RNA sequence: GCGCUUGUGGUGAAAGGGAUAUCACAGGAGCCUUCUAAGCUCUUAUUCCAGGUUCGAAUCCUGGCAGGCGUACCA
């Protein structure tokens, strides 16, 4: 429509350019469907806004059959568009296969999310991260791109050795099997055990008269952990074996969590692999003179031009830091997937500086893909009690939280759901869909940039702008669709239509643009808001007209088709958020 | 100190420079003999402050104020 009106306007004012034509939805307080903002055009028309608007309104009403009338309010030209126009647009939608999905672009995007440490279980913060990354991957796919979902697994380093050591010291041979604990939980338990012992030792040293700072460096258990790390780097057989065993526990535990979450990955990168490549790259960068070395042998990247502090890439003793490994990972990924035009790092905003530095270093090392890296930064999830700290045990565990929301869903559904005809397996699937749907929607509907407060006591809402509300509406559509068998005839675009029906059509027409925008801005929140808006319109429609009591077949048909299309769209957009929709609830 | 970022009804959020700022929750008033009331309809209440750019600013710029994050030979 933008195009048609734009072209028409050029007949009236040959000088107008595309960007002067601002069409938008008419606000609900005014008559009309589409509004042209005429202020930008007054320079060309050389008349007042009101006069210009009236002139254009008259012109368009005469020239375009679908413009039925117009009104002018303070320089805004509200155009009234015919019902038949909207219905013909709806007809087009019905005939578009995979409406909303864009054509193949032959471009590859890599989306990284989760990227856990292998020394503790996943927590609430990971949930926001993973749901966000997973959803962005889906959105990019809907935009026609090939997507590689990946993560970097931080499986080595001093923090990993800490839980290994604690297990060795206090574990008495415990295994997930012997304890019945999930592998990641068991390992996490020893990470906490390490910290407890460590703090005790510090306290003891301080009472013996040592400065706190010194004590923190000289606690025997820390020294032991550092020795273990060294042994690991040297390939000590026993340590590596222990490392492999405990990591395998953690992975088995993570798999269970990912499975419940309904997310997956296409490729995995391990820090234990990529840090070596990182070191090689840094050394070659040094020999090319792109990096510099200090007297103690440490290697740095000069960032003074960028007004940042220089960044260490290799320690004096030749060991690597986090950044070294990240350089290696990035290079490896672009080698593995040469068609990549974008790499999205889903990582919390606490690491914004880190990624700024990373991308700068990659650029300085001469990798053109540095331009294609993007840090999808999101705000922290806070608790009413303050910040989550894993060592202090103030985290909300991912598994626990999911179990809790699923249980909430169970209670509420048993109370008011329509589940008489479902068997046990179908019921538990439904509870999971609702509980997780609520949780995912809750975490995704907010702009990722904003930090958020999460109250586990109150858990998640079920009314209003929530996942279950959308799921509920979907279930309604399904119940209608199940009854409609045989009723549906061919669509007749010449029928009459209610306002609530046209409103749905208008919103459906916005789907492709929304998908595009969400892909461009990596924004699941946009998808969530769109879907919410759609089901609200549908519920309003649902309440105001009857489908099966309608005697006019064409009208009834339109309502059924709208129901089907809304259902299909909700299914699609919710799937972009990683949320399932039930046919009954 | 410096850098990034956020400030919108009581609470949580929305608004690609456009009209009288939109939703939800909570509060108030209604709607089930009718396709699922986890729903619908109505109602009360909001742009941190001060300047500036613009025909037009929640949005852009400058300066404050307040919160968050960062500024490691940690990850």
Q: What is the CATH number of the domain that holds A488?
A: 1.10.730.10
Give the pLDDT of residue A486: 65
- Measure, in angstroms, how far nucleotide B23 C1' is from residue A172 CA: 56
Question: Residue A480: inside a domain, yes or no?
Answer: yes
- Quick one: what percent of chain A has pLDDT higher than 90? 76
Q: Return the nearest residue to B21, CA–C1'.
A: A27
DSSP state of A368: G
Kindly give, in sequence order, each residue whose CB lies less than 8 Å from that of residue A281, ignoring residues fewer than 6 positions away: A327, A328, A331, A365
- Measure, in angstroms, how far nucleotide B62 C1' is from residue A362 CA: 34
Q: What domain count does chain A have?
A: 3
Q: What is the CATH number of the domain that holds A76?
A: 3.30.1360.70
Residues A260 and A112 in one domain: yes
Give the pLDDT of residue A392: 66
Question: Residue A278: inside a domain, yes or no?
Answer: no
Nucleic strand B near CB of residue A1 (< 7 Å): no
> Nearest nt to A470, CA vs C1'?
B38
Q: Left if phi > 0, otherwise alpha if psi is -120 to 50, otherwise beta: which for A98?
A: left
> Nearest nt to A545, CA vs C1'?
B35
Question: Residue A298: inside a domain, yes or no?
Answer: no
3-state SS assignment for residue A265: coil
Nucleic strand B near CB of residue A391 (< 7 Å): no
> Nearest nt to A438, CA vs C1'?
B38
DSSP state of A349: G
CA atoms within 13 A on the CB side of A89: 18
Q: Return the nearest residue to B18, CA–C1'.
A: A37
Residues A340 and A467 in one domain: no
Residues A331 and A376 in one domain: yes
Q: Return the nearest residue to B55, CA–C1'.
A: A39
Give the pLDDT of residue A250: 96
Six token digits for residue A492: 């007749």
CA dihedral A528, A532, A533, A535 (to 10 degrees): 140
How are beta strands A381-382 and A373-378 bridged, if at all?
unpaired
Residues A368 and A482 in one domain: no
Question: Residue A445: inside a domain, yes or no?
Answer: yes
Give the pLDDT of residue A278: 95
pLDDT over 90 at A334, yes or no: yes
Residues A457 and A484 in one domain: yes
What is the ipTM metric for this complex?
0.95
Residues A572 and A464 in one domain: yes
What residue ranges in A331-387 does DSSP mark as E strands?
340-348, 373-378, 381-382
pLDDT over 90 at A167, yes or no: yes
Residues A142 and A34 in one domain: no
- Expressed as residue numbers, the domain containing A24 is 2-81
How are beta strands A381-382 and A452-453 bridged, if at all?
parallel
Give the pLDDT of residue A440: 95
- Measure, in angstroms, how far nucleotide B10 C1' is from residue A548 CA: 43
- Measure, in angstroms, how far nucleotide B7 C1' is from residue A242 CA: 50
Residue A220 burial (CB count, 10 A):
12
The CA distance from A409 to A413, in Å, is 6
How are beta strands A311-314 and A340-348 bridged, if at all?
unpaired
Kindly give, in sequence order, each residue whose CB lies less than 8 Å from that of residue A107, ignoring residues fewer than 6 positions away: A144, A145, A146, A339, A341, A342
Q: Return the nearest residue to B34, CA–C1'.
A: A546
Nucleic strand B near CB of residue A292 (< 7 Å): no
Q: Which residues of chain A between 117 and 146 are close to nucleic strand B, CB under 7 A?
A: 117
The CA distance from A303 to A358, in Å, is 11
pLDDT over 70 at A518, yes or no: yes
Give the pLDDT of residue A391: 66
Q: What is the CATH number of the domain that holds A225?
A: 3.40.50.620
Q: Return the nearest residue to B36, CA–C1'.
A: A476
Residues A27 and A171 in one domain: no
Length of chain A: 585
How are beta strands A22-25 and A76-81 bridged, if at all?
unpaired
Q: Which residues of chain A between 336 and 375 are close to nucleic strand B, CB under 7 A?
A: 349-354
Six token digits for residue A44: 């060309």
Q: Return the nearest residue to B71, CA–C1'.
A: A353
Instruction: Give A445-503 pLDDT, tens digit per residue.
Output: 998 888 888 887 777 778 899 999 999 999 999 999 998 766 666 788 888 899 999 99
Strand B, nucleotides covered by protein (CB < 7 Å): 3-6, 12-15, 18-20, 22-26, 34-41, 55-56, 67-75
Nucleic strand B near CB of residue A57 (< 7 Å): no
Residues A128 and A63 in one domain: no
- Measure, in angstroms, how far nucleotide B33 C1' is from residue A551 CA: 21
pLDDT over 80 at A214, yes or no: yes
Give the pLDDT of residue A390: 66
Nucleic strand B near CB of residue A386 (< 7 Å): no
Instruction: Give A25-55 pLDDT, tens digit per residue.
Output: 999 888 899 999 999 898 888 888 899 999 9
Question: Residue A526: inside a domain, yes or no?
Answer: yes
Q: How far is CA A516 from the centre of its chain?
A: 15
Residues A517 and A384 in one domain: no
Six token digits for residue A224: 């032991």
Contact A86, A502 (CB under 8 A): yes
Q: Which residues of chain A between 462 and 501 are close to nucleic strand B, CB under 7 A?
A: 462-466, 468-469, 472-473, 475-476, 478-480, 483
Six token digits for residue A302: 């000069």
Residues A245 and A164 in one domain: yes
Least confident of A2-6, A85-89, A344-348, A373-377: A2-6
The CA distance from A32 to A27, in Å, is 8
Nucleic strand B near CB of residue A534 (< 7 Å): no
Residues A334 and A445 in one domain: no
Question: Residue A304: inside a domain, yes or no?
Answer: no
pLDDT over 70 at A169, yes or no: yes
Kindly give, in sequence order, each residue whose CB lies less than 8 Å from that of residue A491, ignoring residues fewer than 6 positions away: A90, A91, A94, A557, A558, A561
* ∠ Cα A344 A531 A569 (to 5°): 95
Over residues A153-162, mean pLDDT: 92
**Given A392, A415, A441, which residue is the final one in a domain?**
A392
pLDDT over 80 at A393, yes or no: no
Give the pLDDT of residue A575: 98
Over residues A149-168, mean pLDDT: 93
Over residues A199-203, mean pLDDT: 91
Over residues A108-119, mean pLDDT: 94
DSSP state of A489: -
- In the numeric block, the tokens 């009309």 are attached to A32
Question: Residue A309: inside a domain, yes or no?
Answer: no
Average pLDDT, chain A: 92
Q: How far is CA A228 from the centre of its chain?
A: 38
């Amino acid at each position: 429509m933008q195009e048609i009106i734009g072209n028409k306007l050029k007949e009236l004012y040959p000088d107008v350019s595309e960007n002067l034509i601002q069409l938008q939805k008419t606000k609900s307080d005014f008559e009309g469907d589409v509004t042209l903002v005429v202020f930008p055009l007054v320079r060309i028309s050389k008349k007042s806004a009101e006069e210009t608007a009236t002139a254009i309104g008259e012109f368009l009403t005469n020239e375009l059959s679908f413009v039925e009338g117009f009104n002018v309010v303070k320089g805004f030209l509200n155009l009234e568009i015919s019902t038949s126009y909207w219905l013909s647009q709806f007809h087009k939608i019905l005939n578009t296969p995979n409406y909303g999905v864009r054509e193949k672009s032959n471009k590859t995007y890599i989306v990284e999310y989760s990227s856990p440490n292998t020394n503790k279980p996943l927590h609430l913060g990971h949930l926001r991260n993973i749901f966000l990354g997973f959803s962005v991957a889906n959105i990019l796919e809907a935009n026609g791109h090939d997507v590689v979902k990946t993560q970097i697994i931080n499986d080595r380093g001093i923090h990993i050795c800490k839980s290994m050591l604690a297990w060795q010291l206090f574990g008495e041979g415990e295994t997930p099997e012997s304890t019945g604990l999930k592998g990641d939980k068991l390992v996490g338990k020893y990470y906490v055990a390490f910290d407890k012992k460590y703090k005790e030792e510090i306290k003891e040293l301080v009472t013996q008269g040592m400065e706190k700072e010194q004590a923190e460096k000289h606690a025997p258990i820390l020294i032991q952990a550092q020795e273990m790390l060294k042994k690991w780097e040297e390939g000590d057989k026993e340590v590596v074996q222990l490392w492999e065993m405990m990591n395998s526990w953690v992975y088995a535990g993570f798999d269970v969590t990912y499975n419940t979450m309904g997310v997956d990955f296409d490729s995995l990168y391990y820090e234990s692999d990529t840090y070596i490549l990182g070191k090689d790259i840094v050394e070659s960068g040094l020999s090319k003179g792109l990096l510099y070395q200090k007297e103690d042998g440490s290697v740095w990247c000069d960032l003074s031009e960028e007004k940042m502090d220089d960044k260490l890439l290799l320690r004096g003793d030749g060991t690597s830091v986090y950044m070294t490994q990240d350089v290696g990972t990035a290079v490896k990924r672009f080698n593995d997937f040469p068609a990549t035009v974008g790499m999205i790092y889903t990582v919390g905003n606490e690491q914004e500086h880190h990624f700024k530095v990373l991308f700068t270093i990659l650029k300085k090392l001469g990798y053109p893909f540095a331009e294609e890296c993007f840090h999808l930064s999101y705000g922290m999830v806070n608790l009413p009690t303050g910040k989550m700290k894993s060592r202090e045990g103030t985290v909300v565990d991912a598994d626990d939280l999911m179990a809790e929301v699923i249980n909430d869903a169970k209670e509420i559904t048993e109370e008011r759901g329509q589940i008489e005809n479902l068997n046990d397996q179908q019921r538990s699937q439904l509870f999971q869909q609702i509980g997780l749907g609520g949780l995912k929607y809750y975490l995704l509907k907010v702009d990722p940039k904003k930090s958020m407060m999460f109250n586990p006591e109150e858990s998640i809402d079920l009314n209003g702008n929530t996942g279950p509300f959308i799921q509920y509406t979907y279930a309604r559509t399904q119940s209608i669709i199940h009854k409609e068998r045989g009723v549906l005839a061919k669509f007749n675009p010449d029928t009459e239509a209610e306002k609530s029906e046209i409103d749905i059509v208008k919103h459906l027409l916005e789907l492709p643009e929304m998908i595009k925008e969400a892909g461009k801005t990596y924004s699941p929140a946009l998808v969530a808001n769109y879907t919410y808006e759609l089901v609200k319109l549908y519920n309003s429609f649902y309440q105001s007209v009857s489908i099966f009591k309608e005697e006019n077949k064409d009208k009834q048909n339109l309502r059924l088709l709208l129901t089907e299309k809304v259902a299909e769209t909700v299914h699609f957009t919710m799937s972009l958020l990683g949320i399932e929709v039930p046919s009954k609830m």
